[in-house]
Structure 1
Amino acid sequence: MARARVLSEVFDDVMAAGGPSSTRGGDGPSPRPIISASWQRSLAAHVDPEKPNPPLVFTSDDLPTLRADHPLNSVMPLLRSTLVSIAEEAMHVMLVTDAEGHILWRDGASGLLAEADRVGLYPGTQVSEESIGTNAMGTTLAVDAPVQIHSAEHLVRAFHAWTCVAAPVHDPDTGAILGAIDISGPLHTAHPALVQLVSTTATLAENQLRVRVAIADEQLRMRNMPHLASLRGAPGALVTPTGRIIAGEPYGRWPERVAITEGSDRVVLSDGREMLVEPLAEGYLLRAAASTRAAPRTALSMRFMGDGSPRLTLDGRPVPLTLRPAEVLTVLALHPDGVSGERLAQLLYGEDGNPTTVRGEIHRLRALIGSDVLRTRPYRLDATIDSDFGAVRAALQAGRVEAALAACGGPLLPRSDAPEIRELRDELEAGLRRAVLDTDDAELLHTFAGHPLGRDDLEVHDRLVELLAPGDTRLAAVAMRRARLLRD
């Protein structure tokens, strides 16, 4: 409180002198450099220190969509479990903004929310420096560093009864600021540990986002490796939509990131190599501009796991598919050296399978994907094949449980009764379940508990209830689901 009185005197002196850019005489206290610079920016943006409230930009009807679409939505359970209980006990509110300073989320001490409403600290308002002057959220976005703003260090007088701490959260992919997290409260709640608490929480949020980026990279890599393999050893790389290289041939010769201009058909790497840019359904394929490679093999991508319809793409082009041709493709993908008509009939229909029926299915499938892709004598696929079931199987065999779970959308062709499909479906489901349970990783188990293969698994929910910390906000929902499974 004594510090607040000193800051109030400094504020009055500086504003009476015409602002922080004016020359001030005497040896009295001065604002901190970060505050002085922020005041200058705010006054240059024509913010009135007597302005009552930040502007309301979004209504309550806008907020659900804005929250759902924002990258920080995925880490809100972490922020709530880390900060909200502390905020409630210490008479604070937690606020989370987007990169432009719009407050999207608010939580904390119920007794303080009415006070926050009176000064405009509620979802939908904008608290950037340009909108409401120096404040922890706006200033942390402006300087890209954690800040603590106490009392009259705020430019707008309405906030002088508040003390606030904020830290920026960055996109682990691009490095851009995604938003700010903030703890705000009355003057007497100021505490030096809050800066470290908020900074650490921001780091935890970035780490969780980094894990999600790694999973997305793995999924993109698995879906698009056939394009890289089609270069047949010639130099090339897979690039994310944001320009990060996630796979390259040969290994180790690639920068971390390339700048690809939309619509450009080539790019020059930092070592001077010129690469052609080929847009993919997601991201890009780079290949040497002077490459004399042989004609690439067809890229055949199968997404057959999950409750939806089987999805097939041929060189990036969707191919409509029903269950029976999907079963044929799955069996052929599992037997790259090819199978005879008799053997294919047995794998699809059991001991009563008829090769004549198989020939009809093969004829219809060749009309869909081409005779150059589906060869005969024996029946086989002449293409670079990328399949979700193959990726799950390979990841499990390599002990990469997280990658296996990321690649698995659900049971393999759940409506299929073909013997070969049933056997592989059981193998993948049992293998993935056991691998997840054996990790004792709470995050992985929680993901699996929400997965089609794990949401009705009582053992998974039993183990998760044991592993989640007592203060974890996810525990109540998991325990409720476990109780329902017990009743059923």
Structure 2
Amino acid sequence: MSRDDAAPPDRRNRPDPTALDPLAHARNLSKVFDAVLAGDELAQAAPRPIISESWRRSLAAHVDPENRTPPVVFAPDELREVRAAHPLSAVMPLLRSTLVSIADEAMHVMLVTDAEGRLLWREGAARLLVNADRVGLFPGTKWSEDAIGTNAMGTTLAVDAPVQIHSAEHLVRTYHTWTCVAAPVHDPDTGTILGAIDISGPLHTVHPALVQLVSATAQLAENQLRVQLAIADERLRMRNMAHLTSLRGEPGALVTPSGRIVAGAPYGWWPERINVDDGADRIVLPNGQEMMVESLAEGYLVRPARSPSSGTGVRSLPALSLRFMGEGTPTVLLNGRSIPLTLRPAEILTALALHPDGLTAERLAFLLYGDDGNQTTVRGEIRRLRGLIGSEVLRTRPYRLEATVDSDFCAVRRAVAAGRVESALRACGGSLLPRSDAPEIRRLRDELVAGLRQAVLDSGSVESLHVYAGHPLGAEDLEVFDRLVELLPANDPRRPAVVSRRALLLAE
């Protein structure tokens, strides 16, 4: 394979003229394959440099060209959990709408791997799936170069660039009747490879446009991940700015789980990223200053480390975060520390957050229980809640929260009132405390649901309507799907799924 190294640079990616006839090209590649593996130094042709280098890596990993099948690394019952946890699961609807229909018509399969080359998803022509099963091309197998030699998925991960592997360019002879094209997908946050997208099929189905198609689809997937990252950043800022405000001018930053700064004070004082190890409660910045790390629901708050004698004379209010919208367990963070909570304390905190000036026991009893409210019951509930969050946070006479309160329900309420529909959708995880029958909670829940729905419909925005249609509050809303079908262009890739969902709602 030494002649590859002497090849002129412009030969590295120059297509072979015989590639216009894939069968003839495959025969020529087979001759090159046999000659190179036989050690024929007089062979008149050599594989492309990218193939030669891949063969060298694969042979160094002891891949046997004559007798090899990909190792199975995930059992079928493990795949659902692995897929759900992988970042590319978020773009699978896009990949299906973009590639699967093309793959099915062209007798190809679409394959998606993780960064280690482990095959997680496979979809495409049903007839071809049978053939794919016979050669180990099914989810749960590993397709890195060191596992199964030169192949589009493994090689694109190795070189971090789109590649096409045709016929006998595969190192393992079993795959010489296949052609495949793959491209890597990168994490827009860190730039690391998340996995590979691949189109594979019989060698006679090769098409010169496949490389461009797969590469463009990988870029679309990265763009969608970038949009989702921006939404997550905005959610982190919107839900947790109260933590920065509570520092009263001291340096502080909101940090993503990957260590990226999304909000910091003072401006320009913070680096773009910091390294926050899992479980760490302190870090040292590049300027040598030690900082405290407090966990938030969506990331971290980083603030100055304080010694017992470092008081400034001004008491900072505790930062209280309330996440009560959606079907999950109510979540409370106090200065970044998670507080376990049941429904009744969550109802009390909601009422107090809505009435920052405080409530008497009588008024709080009415808001929670209606005309049957009992002040004695409320006082007992308050005592238990003070035991959870502290008497310095939950004050009495009247009952009130002495903290910087950040809640998802108030964020949605403010955003709807200001006409910021996208912000309201980002902040809203679902209905407010859906299991609660407290009158005050029911009133606010109905207000938020009706207000958000009307704001989405009045916006006339296709994007907002589409987000709401996939939201727990909008998934069953026929009027929303009617409006989407009316507004979505005929060639919009989202339209088939919307039309299908609308038909199901009409049939119910």
Common fold: TM-score over 0.5: yes
Q: Note the C-alpha offset of 1:453.
A: 1.9
Taking a change above 3 Å as real, the CA distance of residues 187 and 414 of structure 1, as seen in their structure-2 partners, is closer
Say which of 258, 262, 275 aligns to 2:290: 275
Structure 2 partner of 1:317: 338
Other-structure match for 1:44: 60
**In 2, Cα distance between the equivalents of 1:292 and 1:443?**
49
Asked if residue 460 in structure 1 is aligned to residue 480 in structure 2, the reply is yes
Instruction: Give yes or no for the alignment of 1:59 onto 2:75.
Output: yes
Of 394, 402, 409, the match for 1:374: 394
Change (3 A) 1:194 1:341: same
Mean CA deviation greater in 133-142 or 423-432: 423-432
The TM-score with structure 2 as length reference comes to 0.83
1:90-138 Cα shifts (integer Å, max 9, x gaps):
2211111121112222122223223323332222222111011111100
The Cα shift of 1:86 comes to: 0.8
The code of the aligned residue for 1:277 comes to M
TM superposition shift of 1:344: 5.5
Deviates more, 1:464-473 or 1:131-140: 464-473
1:239-254 superposed matches below 5 A: 239-254=255-270
Matched with 2:19 is none
Structure 1 residues 381 and 134, CA gap change in structure 2 (3 angstroms): same
CA distance in 2, matches of 1:67, 1:32: 35
Residue 113 (1) aligns with residue 129 (2):
yes
State the shift of 1:87 in Å.
Answer: 0.9
SS of the residue corresponding to residue 197 of structure 2 reads strand
CA deviations 1:447-473 (Å, max 9, x no partner) are 423433213322112123345566878
Which residue number in structure 2 is paired with residue 128 of structure 1? 144
1:148 maps to a residue whose letter is: Q
- Contact (CA 8 Å) 2:339, 2:389: kept in 1 or not? no
Alpha-carbon separation, structure 2, partners of 1:292 and 1:139: 58
The offset of 1:372, in angstroms, is 2.0
Secondary structure of the residue that 2:76 maps to in structure 1? coil
Contact 2:343 2:436 (8 Å CA) reproduced:
no
Query: How far apart, in 2, do the equivalents of 1:319 and 1:441 lie?
Result: 39
Gaps of 5+ in 2: 1-22
Paired amino acid for 2:343 = T
Shift of 1:157: 1.8
TM-fit CA distance, 1:178: 1.6
**CA 1:441–1:178 in structure 2 vs 1: closer, same or farther (change >3 Å)?**
farther
Is the contact made by 2:347 and 2:368 (CA closer than 8 Å) also made in structure 1?
A: yes
Offset of residue 247 of structure 1: 1.9
CA displacement 1:14-56 (0-9 Å, x = unmatched): 22227xxxxx457x33322211111111111111221243233
Matches within 5 A, 1:144-183: 144-183=160-199
Alpha-carbon offset, residue 193 of structure 1: 1.3
- CA 251–292 in structure 1, closer or farther in 2 if over 3 Å, else same: farther
Indicate yes or no: 2:24 matched with 1:2: yes
Quote the Cα distance in structure 2 between the aligned partners of 1:380 and 1:395: 24
| Aligned-partner SS, 2:218 | helix
TM-score of the superposition, structure 1-length normalised? 0.86
1:195 equivalent in structure 2: 211
Using a 3 Å threshold, how does the CA distance of structure 1 residues 365 and 129 change in structure 2: closer, same or farther?
closer
Check if 1:396 corresponds to 2:413. no
Task: Map 1:61-80; keep pairs closer than 5 Å.
Answer: 61-80=77-96
Q: What is the SS of the residue equivalent to 1:336?
A: coil
Q: 1:15 aligns with which of 28, 37, 53?
A: 37
User: Is the 2:339–2:388 contact (alpha carbons within 8 Å) kept by the matching residues of 1?
Assistant: no
Alignment-derived partner of residue 90 in structure 1: 106
Unaligned runs of 5+ in 1: 19-23
CA apart distance, 1:261: 3.6
Distance of 2:387 and 2:76 partners within structure 1:
53
Cα pair distance change 1:259/1:11, threshold 3 Å: same
1:311–1:321 CA contact under 8 A, matched in 2 = no
Distance in 2, matches of 1:43 and 1:254, equals 47
Q: Would you say 1:288 and 2:304 are equivalent positions? A: yes
Do the aligned partners of residues 434 and 255 (structure 1) sit closer, same or farther apart at CA in structure 2, a change above 3 Å counting? farther
- Quick one: which of 385, 403, 417 aligns to 2:405? 385
Please report how far the alpha carbon of residue 257 of structure 1 lies from its aligned counterpart in structure 2 after TM superposition. 1.3
Secondary structure (helix, strand or coil) at the match of 1:42 reads helix
SS at match of 1:312: strand
- Range 119-128 or range 395-404, more displaced: 395-404
CA contact (8 A) 1:77 1:474 kept: no
Q: Structure 1 residues 208, 441: CA separation in 2 closer, same or farther (over 3 Å shift)?
A: farther
Distance (Å, rounded) in 2 between the aligned partners of 1:226 and 1:268: 24
The 1-side partners of 2:29 and 2:248 are apart by 68
Query: Judging changes above 3 Å, is the alpha-carbon distance between structure 1 residues 228 and 151 closer, same or farther for their aligned structure 2 residues?
Result: same
User: Shift of the alpha carbon at 1:84?
Assistant: 1.0
Moved more, 298-307 or 340-349: 340-349
Q: 2:394 & 2:154 partners in 1: Cα distance?
A: 60
Aligned CA distance change for structure 1 residues 80 and 441 (closer, same or farther; 3 Å) = farther
Task: Name the aligned partner's letter for residue 27 of structure 2.
Answer: R
Bigger drift between 108-117 and 172-181 goes to 108-117
1:212 corresponds in structure 2 to 228
In structure 1, the partner of 2:154 is 138
Q: How many residues align?
A: 480
* 2: CA distance, partners of 1:406 / 1:477: 22
SS at match of 1:278: strand
Deviations, residues 55-89 of structure 1 (Å, cap 9, x unaligned): 33333333233222222222211111101111112
- Tell me the equivalent position of 1:21: none
Query: Identity, % of aligned pairs?
Result: 69
Shift of residue 171 of structure 1? 2.0
